[in-house]
């Protein structure tokens, strides 16, 4: 796929298809006339008729394909509804490009396509978003599809995408393309890891993927085996791994540029399959539980992005990876574990395993003396109940960090919504025999109770927790997010890290 800057006037663009966005409050013929005076009035008149017949009014996502009959350079002019103009920001250009990638990509007649941008603010931001959107929208996981199986609607036909209507230098354009492509490719890498079934994407494979990322040169990777983290005292993490035949791995990726002034740890939940353990899940809730390593894959995607962007801030990626299985050696409900900071945990529910593995990862991160910690995890069904698939929950001990993450998410086109961490929630975690128990009362503030548990393993340094159980998986394509594991969080973390680059 090639991305190029197109500077010709609308009528002179020589792509197979030119896509022109039209706002709901505009008349397409006026827009076209304003952009390029050379369109003939007969062309415009027939277009107006056509648009009326097809009831094209520029509604968001509405598409109208106009025959150009050799009157202009391109073969097809597509009008694309952009919705209300006052709401149009870079996030909309991302959505637009993603939808185009999905809807026009499979048509063999579209070898080249030009997207005419209608940006009202920073053109560079729009270009970056459009490139991101295109690569994200065109994503498909085809590894297990037979080659000759037809009907794959997303087989890509477009080989060249040009961006027209952008007032931008070619240097800025290239920067925007590189930035957009890096984020989208990192997201797609993470999506691939989630899409792999649990029988393939084991903790061992996850560790291999981490090593692969470290081959890029600027990031280093260490993988610890059970004996090693047993010595470190990670009793909470080891407890979860007990029921699984697959060996658990503790993965640490380090990026530390010599001039960095700050350091951030990003911790991912790497449960490669969550059966619930002996507190076993019903079949329906288990169906997609290969995505319980989404946090880990987001961390890997982010480290891959760092390889390319090399920001000036130190980042440590930490992944605790294991299956959660009900083997004969599995945790019994009621078992007591000792985490790396010495706190004892009564496991009243083996399905609340994410917080158990994160506990040791958080203590480990604190011991590494990083300036701040962000963990990302498909942690609670309660978060899906509270926020649905639209947003991830965010909680933490530092409002500034939380606010900056929410802003970064907004810019990136992802949504974070803060849930409270009231002291009252600590009561849910009171155990009769240990310092804490791992699961609170069913149906009561589950996401906050889980975050309250995590807080017990942070030594007071700034920490934020992202619960991506909801937006981590969707069943239907939506804009730049394709159905299946979404790798929600890569874009937010990338923006946040860039913001901290000095």
Q: Which residues are catalytic?
A: 281, 355
By CB under 6 A, the residues from 284 to 303 that bind ligand BES are 292
Q: How far is the CB of 160 from ligand BES (least distance, A)?
A: 39
Do 276 and 350 touch, CB atoms closer than 8 A? yes
Q: How far is the CB of 336 from ligand BES (least distance, A)?
A: 17
Q: How many residues does the chain have?
A: 502
Task: Please report whether residue 354 would count as binding Zn ion according to CB under 5 A.
Answer: yes
By CB under 6 A, the residues from 76 to 105 that bind ligand BES are none
Longest dimension (CA), the chain: 84
Handedness of CA 118, 123, 127, 128 (dihedral sign): negative
Among ligand BES, Zn ion, none, what does residue 469 contact (CB within 5–8 Å per kind)? ligand BES
Q: How far apart are CA 345 and CA 358, in angstroms?
A: 13
For residue 106, which phi and psi values (nearest 5 degrees)? -85, -10
Q: How far apart are CA 481 and CA 58, in angstroms?
A: 23
Burial track 274-290 (b if 16+ CB lie within 10 A, e otherwise):
bbbbbbbbeeeeeebbb
For 82-85, which contacts have Cβ atoms below 8 Å and span 24 or more sequence positions?
82/21, 82/22, 82/23, 82/24, 82/58, 82/118, 83/23, 83/24, 83/58, 83/59, 84/23, 84/24, 84/25, 84/60, 85/23, 85/24, 85/25, 85/26, 85/120
- Candidate ranges 41-49, 142-150, 250-258, 349-357; the one touching ligand BES (CB under 6 A): 349-357
Q: How far is the CB of 378 from Zn ion (least distance, A)?
A: 6
Task: Closer to ligand BES by CB, 373 or 379: give it.
Answer: 379
By CB under 6 A, the residues from 251 to 290 that bind ligand BES are 274
By CB under 6 A, the residues from 199 to 238 that bind ligand BES are none
Q: How far is the CB of 377 from ligand BES (least distance, A)?
A: 8
Task: Please report whether residue 333 would count as binding ligand BES according to CB under 6 A.
Answer: no
In the set 6, 196, 323, 351, which binds ligand BES (CB under 6 A)?
A: 351
- Candidate ranges 67-75, 312-320, 347-355, 404-412; the one touching ligand BES (CB under 6 A): 347-355
Strands, sheet with 336-338, edge to edge from the N-terminal-most edge strand: 336-338, 344-346, 436-437
Determine the angle formed by the axes of helices 354-367 and 446-455, rounding to 10 degrees: 30
Q: How far from the centroid of its chain's Cα atoms is residue 202's Cα? A: 21
Task: Closer to Zn ion by CB, 258 or 443: give it.
Answer: 443
Handedness of CA 213, 409, 313, 319 (dihedral sign): negative
Task: Closer to ligand BES by CB, 153 or 283: give it.
Answer: 283
In the set 196, 274, 372, 414, which binds Zn ion (CB under 5 A)?
A: 274
In the set 352, 376, 452, 493, which binds ligand BES (CB under 6 A)?
A: 352
Considering just the CA atoms, what is the radius of gyration of the chain in Å? Answer: 25
Task: Closer to ligand BES by CB, 44 or 474: give it.
Answer: 474
By CB under 6 A, the residues from 400 to 459 that bind ligand BES are 439, 446
Size of the site for ligand BES (CB under 6 A): 16
**Closest Cα to residue 110, out of 120, 121, 99, 100?**
100
The pairing of strands 392-396 and 463-467 is antiparallel
By CB under 6 A, the residues from 384 to 403 that bind ligand BES are 384
Task: Closer to ligand BES by CB, 16 or 353: give it.
Answer: 353
Q: How far is the CB of 290 from ligand BES (least distance, A)?
A: 11
Task: Please report whether residue 353 would count as binding ligand BES according to CB under 6 A.
Answer: yes
Residue numbers of the site for Zn ion (CB under 5 A)?
271, 274, 292, 351, 353-354
Residue numbers of the site for ligand BES (CB under 6 A)?
274, 292, 349, 351-354, 378-382, 384, 439, 446, 469
């Amino acid at each position: 796929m090639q991305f190029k800057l197109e500077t010709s006037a609308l009528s002179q663009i020589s792509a197979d298809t030119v896509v022109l966005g039209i706002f709901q409050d505009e008349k397409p013929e006026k827009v076209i006339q304003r952009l390029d005076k050379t369109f003939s009035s007969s062309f415009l008149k027939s277009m107006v008729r056509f648009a009326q017949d097809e009831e094209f009014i520029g509604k968001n996502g509405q598409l109208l394909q106009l025959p150009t009959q050799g009157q202009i350079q391109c073969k097809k002019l597509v009008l694309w509804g952009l919705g209300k103009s006052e709401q149009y920001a870079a996030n909309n250009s991302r959505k637009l490009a993603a939808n185009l990638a999905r809807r026009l990509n499979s048509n063999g007649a579209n070898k080249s396509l030009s997207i005419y941008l209608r940006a009202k603010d920073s053109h560079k931001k729009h270009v970056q978003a459009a490139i991101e959107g295109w690569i994200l929208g065109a994503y498909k996981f085809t590894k297990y599809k037979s080659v000759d199986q037809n009907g794959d609607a997303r087989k890509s036909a477009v080989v060249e995408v040009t961006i027209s209507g952008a007032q931008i230098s070619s240097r800025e354009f290239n920067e925007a393309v590189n930035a957009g492509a890096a984020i989208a490719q990192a997201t797609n890498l993470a999506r691939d890891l989630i899409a792999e079934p649990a029988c393939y994407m084991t903790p061992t494979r996850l560790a291999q993927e981490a090593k692969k990322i470290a081959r890029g040169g600027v990031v280093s990777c260490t993988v610890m085996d059970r004996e090693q983290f047993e010595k470190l005292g990670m009793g909470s993490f080891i407890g979860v791994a007990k029921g699984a035949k697959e060996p658990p791995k503790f993965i640490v990726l380090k990026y530390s540029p010599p001039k960095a002034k700050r350091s951030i740890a990003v911790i991912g939940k790497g449960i490669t399959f969550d059966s619930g353990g002996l507190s076993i899940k019903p079949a329906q809730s288990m169906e997609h539980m290969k995505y319980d390593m989404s946090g880990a894959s987001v961390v890997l995607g982010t480290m891959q992005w760092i390889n390319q962007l090399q920001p000036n801030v130190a980042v440590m990626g930490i992944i605790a990876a294991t299956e959660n299985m009900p083997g004969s050696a599995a945790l019994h409900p009621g078992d007591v574990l000792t985490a790396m900071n010495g706190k004892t945990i009564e496991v009243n529910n083996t399905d609340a395993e994410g917080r158990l593995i994160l506990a040791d990862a958080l203590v480990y991160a604190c011991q590494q003396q990083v300036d701040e910690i962000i963990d990302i995890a498909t942690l609670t069904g309660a978060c899906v109940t509270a926020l649905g698939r639209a947003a991830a929950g965010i909680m933490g001990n530092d409002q500034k960090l939380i606010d900056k993450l929410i802003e970064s998410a907004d810019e990136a086109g992802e949504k974070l919504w803060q849930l409270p961490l009231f002291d009252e929630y600590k009561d849910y975690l009171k155990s009769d025999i240990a310092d804490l128990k791992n699961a609170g009362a069913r149906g009561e503030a589950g996401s906050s109770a889980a975050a309250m548990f995590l807080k017990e393993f942070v030594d007071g340094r700034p920490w934020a927790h992202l619960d991506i159980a909801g937006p981590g998986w969707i069943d239907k394509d939506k804009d730049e997010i394709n159905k299946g594991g979404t790798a929600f969080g890569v874009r937010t973390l990338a923006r946040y890290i860039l913001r901290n680059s000095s």
